[in-house]
Structure 1
């Protein structure tokens, strides 16, 4: 590497240091435990109310509406588990882990340790081929190489993956539960494997027990299917706008941390309602630059970071929720077309 390259890398490294100073001096990394306490109380309170409604309704097909409502609140708890995994709530790792284990394992039925490990690898290498686990999601193909490697039924799926993407998300909840169970069964995979396993057992016993005790057999099965389908669709639709359709990097792309995080991420505009619906993930650029920044501070950080990017000629992407989905689907469609060409050779 030449002296010029070293100088450029050093200058770019100092850019992130300058931005970090601006953010820290503005108090945007200060924790907001009271705001989180209010949010946790509101979500758990909503779940309790839906639980009372569930029991009062009894064996009724109207419980499908209850199932959808529970799914939305479980997704909100998953967002809180996400924040705990990034240590946004408390400075103490132990305190964040307790919140994460309760929100994820006990209430939502997802392994906190498994998800944190996977998500941290995504943050370290966002949209990087061969490194980002979010680009390795079978049966989808996010890169030309993945698409060209598919054969048979897999290739057929990839050709139509844009049309099948949202229907596929209906099974995402079941996928997360299954991956969580595999993680706690596998020896040496988790730091608190026994604790996580015990909490998952309590979750599934309580969830299935309540559903089958209150509802008839067919109603219970429909409740579970609706609940898991809405849960998966909601979570998947919240995460999909963040990076899908943005540039995909390779190991050869020599980007500094600041540009690696900004150029592969996309923000979603929309105001307080979108903030609440997407759990703060709509501020994806700010979140990727400062993962431990508390969610309530992200919208305050946005104008500062957007201006900093403009001053340093770094493309800052922001669009609407519908447009972000459209861009992601367009990318999947383009990869599907590549699979079709490969299959025709």
Structure 2
């Protein structure tokens, strides 16, 4: 990201770029490295597409009693890079010196992100001086009772800090959730259901259950192809190399659209419509996706329907046109695969112009 900061794109605000770095959004985690590499090589559209979603995300303001409760927790119990016994003016001076010295937002500065250290960056700076009444005395011994601590790799409190905090509890067991984010106990998808079941079991039996919950359900893209020739052919028996490339491009287009419906997405899950990466449109409905000449690979346009079940079973019925194809006509492609797996390519089956194929997964 430091290289991107040195070569800024006028259409990608730095604050949007910093949001895109958050791999807790599966689409960002899947695409950000490949998009950054493409941008530095002169292909800006993949990164711009991510940034547009980040910059256009609707806010979710905290209001009323919820906001008051959050302030009391954050400002009363949080730790800050200033002396909480100092008056607000001195706190601001200390805060400004901290940002100049430590650069906690590096490679960005507060100004890069439209933030002002002295005006609203840290809203607790004016919070009243805390009373010295800790919930727990500093040297208190905590009871040796069963404690289950759940933490995700991409939570706001990463596993390392969670492990440090739980050392105070002699009977604590840490349950790590790979690729997990915040609020796992009531999160979506299989990971949320798994964590909720584990917590229910712990509350009932007072023992940490032997389960492995994971939110790892995607594989990072290696690159965004700039032409059909850059697409690796799908090893489908009975098809020549040209048609196997077209089949691979059709699947890449469908998989790109389906990735926007990953159950762990927050921002992309709200989309109802989005331009195709290289042209056309993609529409999102309840359990269905419509491709209208959507292009993920330059020169290959895909139209048709994709159905997607809550369990992640995807089926696509597509019409695919590829510039420079041997006969210049549209191909009929039927695809079936299990989406949201951490594989480079899942097991794939279907037909290409009526010829059946079945391709094993590639991890």
Bucket of the pairwise TM-score, normalised by the shorter protein: under 0.3
Which one has the bigger strand percentage? 2
Q: TM-score, normalised by structure 1?
A: 0.25
Structure with greater helix share of residues: 1
Q: Which has the higher contact order (CA 8 A, sep 6+)?
A: 1
Provide TM-score, normalisation by structure 2: 0.24
Which structure has the larger Rg? 2
